[in-house]
Amino acid sequence: MADASEAVAAGARVPTGLPPGQRVALLLVWLAAAVPVLLWLTQRGDPELAVALVAAGTRWLVRLAIGAGGLLLVAALLFPPVPAWLRLRWHELRLSLTSDRGPLLRALGELQHFASAQRHYEVGRLALLRREFAVAMPHLQAALQLEPQMAAAHHQLGLLLFRHGQLGAAAAAFARAEELDPGHAFGDALLYLGRCLDLAEHHQRAVDVLRRHAQRHGGNRRSHYWLALALQATGDRAGAAAALAVAAAPPTQALTAEENWFRALARVRLWRGAGR
C-alpha cells in the first residue's frame, strides 16, 4: 500500500467539471426555463400553434410520467432498494445544488492574500462538500505539502480518492489520518480504511479494522453492512448474517437518506439468504 505522502506527490487525478447528476439537473432547469419564452414567442406569431404545442406537450408529459412510473415499479420489483437509492441520490443532488457557494469563494479569496495549510485545507473541504472535485484535489494536496501532519487533510483527501476508486492511495490517507489522530472524524477514517481494504480484497484485514471501529465507536448501519460484506468474503456466513441483521433492524427514529439506503441493502441480502 502506498504511503499517503506518496499519493500526494503522485498528483492523483480526478474527473474535472460537474458530476453527471448536476449536469443533467442543470440542463433540465434550463430547458424548463426556456419553454415559457419559446411559447410566448410562438404565441406572438401564431396563437393557434402555441395552443397546439401546449396540448401536445401535455400529452407527452403524461406519457412520460406513466412510462417512468412503470419503469420505477419494474426496477423496484427487480431491485427492492431502488426507492432508497433514489432518495439518497436526490438528497445528494439537492445538497450540491442548493448549498451556498459563498463560503468556498470567501475561502479562495482569503487564500489569495495569505497561503497556509489551514486555508488550503478549508478550500479543499468546502469544494469536496460541494462535489467540486477538481477544485478540492490540488488544495488538499497543497495543505499536506505544507503540513504533512494534518490528519483532517489526509482524511478529506482519502474521501476524494475513495470516491474515484483509487483504493490504495485512499487507504493510505485514511490510515495516516487515524495514526495522527486516533478516532478521527468520529471513527470515519477507520471505517473507510476498512472498506478500502475489503474492496482491495484484503478481506481479513478489513474485518479486523471494521471490528475495531465497532468496538471503539459503536457502529452504524453503514459500518455493520460493510462488516457483513467483509465477513462474507472471508467465509464467515454466521457473522455476516448477524451484522446484516443489525444493519437491517427496524428503525426507532427517522433515518437519514444514507442510513435508509444501507438498511435497504441489508434487508435485501437477508431476504436472499446471505449468511446461510
pLDDT at 126 over 90: yes
pLDDT at 227 over 90: yes
| Residue 274 contacts residue 240 (beta carbons within 8 Å) | yes
pLDDT in tens, 245-262: 999 999 999 999 999 999
pLDDT in tens, 28-55: 666 677 777 777 777 777 787 877 877 8
Q: Give helix 102-113 / helix 117-129 axis angle, nearest 10°.
A: 160
Nearest to 265 by CA among 216, 232, 217: 232
Report d(CA 94, CA 194) in Å as an integer: 29
Set of cell numbers at residue 229: 460484506
Return the domain boundaries, the chain.
20-78, 220-276
pTM: 0.77
Phi and psi dihedrals of 228, rounded to 5? -60, -40
Give me the chain's average pLDDT, please: 85
Nearest to 72 by CA among 93, 86, 60, 55: 86
| Residue 16 contacts residue 136 (beta carbons within 8 Å) | no
Set of cell numbers at residue 25: 439537473
Report d(CA 6, CA 213) in Å as an integer: 26
pLDDT at 120 over 50: yes
| Residue 245 contacts residue 221 (beta carbons within 8 Å) | no
